[in-house]
Structure 1
Amino acid sequence: MGRWAEVGDGVLVRRYDELDLSLGLVVGERGCLVVDTGGDETQGAEFAAAVREVTALPWTVVVTHAHFDHAFGTAAFGECPVWGHPGCAEELAGGGETQRAAMAEFYREGGRDEIARRVETARIVPPGLLVPDEAEIDLGGRQVRLLHPGLAHTGHDLVVHVPDAGVVFAGDLVEQGAPPAFEDSFPLVWPSAVLRLMTLGASTVVPGHGEPVDVAFVAAQRADLLEVATLCRAVAAGEMTAAEAKALSPYPEHFTAAALARAAAPA
């Protein structure tokens, strides 16, 4: 089950213990915006019911990126507008089944068969309203900006800016409580995307996982990402070994190993 936290007037975060996940809700005068939908239809349905306890206004969904924990609950919201980056739609349509199989296996190996079953049976819903760069959604008395800040945690991240509340939903560009995940990332340019997020001027940033943070936290995480990018470049240039880079990294070894592998992957 989840729990609500209010981060601005009509801007809420629903926090889940599973994967330390944060989902969002922005309420306007004529509609509301749901930010990510959870990892399966059961979690999505719980989130949808919780939204209905807050507001009866029609909802629109935005998916910050295609990873299962943010996108596999969308079917629980029924027929509604779903926004996302074109790469998110492509990944869910083309790679969703591969991701489903990998995550079901992960949960089964951990003895969590019920979550594995829920992931296996979730209906994958790619976004139909595509945002290659920027878009605005009018919720009535409140404009919400969707922005692709560049290659970062994935190639198709969107952030959700609520200017009148000073809040940004960052998806997994920012992580609180655990290091950023590099498996699908672009570590050499991730810091630039975070800088673009910081220039939005929000005072509160909601990570995809963990508690809401302030700009100082984001700046510190960007500094760590810059350090990882520097290490990746040094390894690529033959200036140090991967082992030396892992020892110098601000993050645990397996996180840095993933960053080094992604930095070395063909473009």
Structure 2
Amino acid sequence: MTFLHEIGSGVHVLRHPVLDVNATLVVGGESALVVDTLSTAVQAQELLAAVRRVTALPLTVVNTHHHFDHSFGNQVFAGAKIWAHEEAARLIGPAMHARAAVEYPDMASELACTTPSAPTELVRAAADLDLGDRPVQLRHFGRGHSIGDLAVLVPDADVLIAGDLVEESGPPQFDDAYPLDWPDTVAALLARLTPDSRVVPGHGAVVGLPFVTAQHEHLAALAWLIREGDADGAPPERVAAKSPFPQDVSLPAVQRGYLQLNALT
């Protein structure tokens, strides 16, 4: 049985063992918000059961970005409003489903029984939700881990749900990323944090201001390495070897950064 754990007043996190991905429940006076719906319909059913052990209130959903491990459980929440950035909504569909099945063959059977469900409510820069005497802010601070990252802020609990803009249990992933933009986007997150803030990363344990500050410094260092490497004509492998992150994730970052600098992405 999968359980949610309260990390702040009325804010609960489910850390799912598959891919160590987080889903978050925010309970208000009149409704509740589920942030990210996990990878498959089976996982989302576990999530919904855990949510219903906490609250019977009507539900709204937010996808922090388009990747399957954060959005493919949407179908289980049919009938609820599902919010996402407009670019994320565009990308939740058959192409992502096919890619996930190839990249995660151990989940192929569950994915075969999962139909991607597109979000119904689109955000360009900002939207505010009212859960009943509890405001929640949806903010797109810029590109980073993906083209359509949304941060979810719960001001009265001093909680920020960051999606994969912040990663705890592994290094940031750059396959669809914008590594030159990512530092500025995380800087915007940092501007909303206090010394007591709790930050729910896309994967791993809940963190705070010091962790996000350190990750921002590493992202900024990598962005400068990419700019310098491009100016010097350095091969991506040489730049990745200098990165503060492991080389296997840094090489895609450098390649993506070079494409950005040369206006190819």
Same fold (TM over 0.5): yes
Q: Distance in 1 between matches of 2:235 and 2:78?
A: 50
Counterpart check, 1:79 vs 2:69: no
Is residue 243 of structure 2 the alignment partner of residue 246 of structure 1? no
Q: TM-score, normalised by structure 1?
A: 0.94
User: What's 1:222 paired with?
Assistant: 216
Letter in 2 for 1:80: A
Please tell me whether residue 173 in structure 1 is matched to residue 165 in structure 2: yes
Matched to 2:55, the amino acid is: T
Q: Please give the residue correspondences for 1:170-209 in structure 2 after superposition, counting only pairs within 5 Å.
A: 170-202=162-194, 203-209=197-203
Displacement after TM superposition at 1:239 (Å):
5.8
Name the aligned partner's letter for residue 8 of structure 1.
Answer: G
Which 4+ residue blocks in structure 1 deviate beyond 3 angstroms? Answer: none
TM-score by structure 2 length? 0.95
Superposition pairs for residues 36-55 of structure 1, below 5 Å? Answer: 36-55=36-55
* Equivalent residues in 2 for 1:106-125, closer than 5 Å: 106-108=103-105, 112=106, 115-125=107-117
Q: Identity of paired residues, percent?
A: 42
Comparing 245-254 with 51-60, which one deviates more in the overlay?
245-254
Distance in 1 of aligned mates of 2:249 and 2:126: 30
Equivalent residues in 2 for 1:2-17 (5 A)? Answer: 2-17=2-17
Q: Which residue of 2 aligns with 1:128?
A: 120
3-state SS of paired residue (1:26):
strand
- What is the one-letter code of the residue matched to 2:21? L
SS across alignment from 1:22: strand
Deviation of 1:51 after TM superposition, in Å, equals 0.4
Q: Which runs of 5+ in 2 are unaligned?
A: none
- The 3-state SS of whatever aligns with 2:37 is coil
- Would you say 1:161 and 2:158 are equivalent positions? no
* Cα displacement (A) at 1:214: 0.6
Q: Could you list the runs of 5+ residues in structure 1 that have no partner in the other structure?
A: none
CA RMSD of the aligned region, Å? 1.2
CA contact (8 A) 2:187 2:216 kept: yes
Contact 1:75 1:124 in 2 (8 A): yes
Residue 98 (structure 1) shift: 2.1
AA of the residue aligned to 1:175: E
- Residue number in structure 2 paired with 1:104: 101
Instruction: Give me the whole-angstrom Cα distance separating, in 1, the residues matched to 2:79 and 2:216.
Output: 38
